Structure 1
């Protein structure tokens, strides 16, 4: 049975999502927070229990097309049924870019999308680091050099100042590789996606300060019971090339390990070579690519 989903269905929705995308884990609180701020039309397909979920989310600059079928239930036409339902919802909306995300390691899903007019617009990599095995010794000289140059590193829990954090994040956020046009981060988005996000973790989020100027940041969220997610790392242009991004991430890693967390996760676009190189030096392990697809059939709105 195909039916609209409701907040009471969050456990089933999270189960499907986290089974298919364990590297992009979402808690029930994550779903509730996201749905409050980015409206979604979501549907469940049940066969003696929920086995597939589809959603069409308004992300502001674009619509996000979400569709997932649990392992063991593929090949029964469930994806086609959900896709047709979402397409009907999409056709009734004002025209806007429409994106979806598929794993590179799922060729069937990529072929399914390609046959329906979706084309690759960006790809990125999930990376994870086991904290117990991290060796800080190779980076101790970097921290000493930066401190000698006048930089100080503070956890956001010790220096909670959204009025200073916002302009730094707003400027560095524009440099994040993306497929569409970069849009400035609004104060509302800053609060929703970072400092007021239910998973934001101030203790392992760090800023670099020099002579009173906030020069760089690394912002972290909780991820399940024992993990963290590095959501954003950025350095102002005038302070780049010194190793600040690496030093900030090392601060987060060491504090996370001290607090008992087991893993740190992150995502980067394939074109973000500098940050991918930083993560590789720190020991992050790269997983299969996540492919961003854009719906190219303009006939939807003609």
Structure 2
């Protein structure tokens, strides 16, 4: 297999293979749009593997906010007609050499929980299970419950927010997400990333960013993202001094109401399977368990100069 760097004129080949990894395919225009939104300065390297003139494998290593600072997130896709022939292993070897040569100590792969064959493939090549991220679904068509907001707290969305208010909320997200169980061994988020999550990604909606305030200051927030015909409950967090006072529940119920007002019928959320408080809160609302994703990690060995590059 001949492995070459990705270039824009190979986008059709890459798109076919990338869509094999996605729950819903994207079009070429969206592929390029996603490229244009990639954070400047964040490492991302992509390659295609060819048999004659046919692209049969795709590989990517990239900086990720959900990977430790010394790890890269990895993706590999192989054309169905060429699986079982070592093409994925060849691409993995190439990606490992590239990551190792840049001083990274490990790789992080995210694989659907129900995808037993890719899990077995990765584990046979040195990846080990690190975490289970559980998905939960809520049917909004039959859900009826009003938010019971503590008297000293007000809830507002960001639909009419000023730039100063956006930065205030981004700083709150930066503080809260650093304390989230899912993020504790991960690098801190920058203000730029927080603002992107809140308002600049195409999935963001200002009316689905809801802030809890007390005496004018923010004490909690919840963020919803558009995900096809669903709303994805991306993040809910409350300042430590306000936890245990049902502020998180009030925020989530207000977000549910905002989604229902827009005709959304399903809410999805993801939590670390060890995040008992969040899972308990979701269960009390009526969320039901759905297949999530496994996070696998592989430690990279020291560079072997005898291996070909």
Q: Same fold (TM over 0.5)?
A: yes
Structure 1 spans left out of the alignment, 5+ residues: none
User: Which among 132, 144, 155 is matched to residue 136 of structure 1?
Assistant: 144
In the superposition, relative to structure 1, how do residues 131 and 63 fare at CA in structure 2: closer, same or farther (>3 Å)?
same
Q: CA separation of 1:101/1:77 partners in 2, compared to 1, >3 Å: closer, same or farther?
A: same
Equivalent residue in structure 1 for 2:245, among 237, 242, 245: 242
1:195 aligns with one of 164, 185, 199: 199
Tell me which residue corresponds to 2:104: 95
Q: Tell me, which stretches of 5 or more residues in structure 2 are unaligned?
A: none
Query: Are 2:132 and 1:123 aligned?
Result: yes
Cα 1:49/1:298, change in 2 over 3 Å: closer
Q: CA-to-partner distance for each residue in 1:254-301, whole Å, 9 max, x for gaps? A: 111212334322221111111122222333332234221221243347
Aligned-pair CA distance for 1:150: 1.7
Give the structure 1 partner of residue 159 of structure 2.
157
Q: Distance in 2 between matches of 1:11 and 1:270?
A: 37
Q: Is it true that 1:76 corresponds to 2:79 in the alignment?
A: no
Secondary structure of the 1:219 match is: strand
CA–CA distance in structure 2, aligned partners of residues 112 and 179 of structure 1: 27
- Partner of 1:167, secondary structure, is helix
User: Are the equivalent residues in 2 in contact too, given 1:123–1:291 (CA < 8 A)?
Assistant: yes
1:80 Cα deviation (Å)?
1.8
Supply the distance in 2 between the matched residues of 1:7 and 1:222 (Cα, whole angstroms).
28
- The number of aligned residues is 294
Please report the TM-score for the alignment, with normalisation by the length of structure 2: 0.81
Which among 34, 40, 60 is matched to residue 38 of structure 2? 34
The DSSP-based 3-state class of the residue aligned with 1:249 is: helix
1:183-262 residue pairs with structure 2 within 5 A?
A: 183-224=187-228, 226-262=229-265
The SS at the match of 1:206 is: strand
Partners of 1:280 and 1:267 in 2: CA distance:
13
Contact 2:129–2:295 (Cα < 8 Å) also in 1: yes
CA RMSD of aligned residues (A): 3.1
- Superposition deviation, residue 74 in structure 1: 3.3
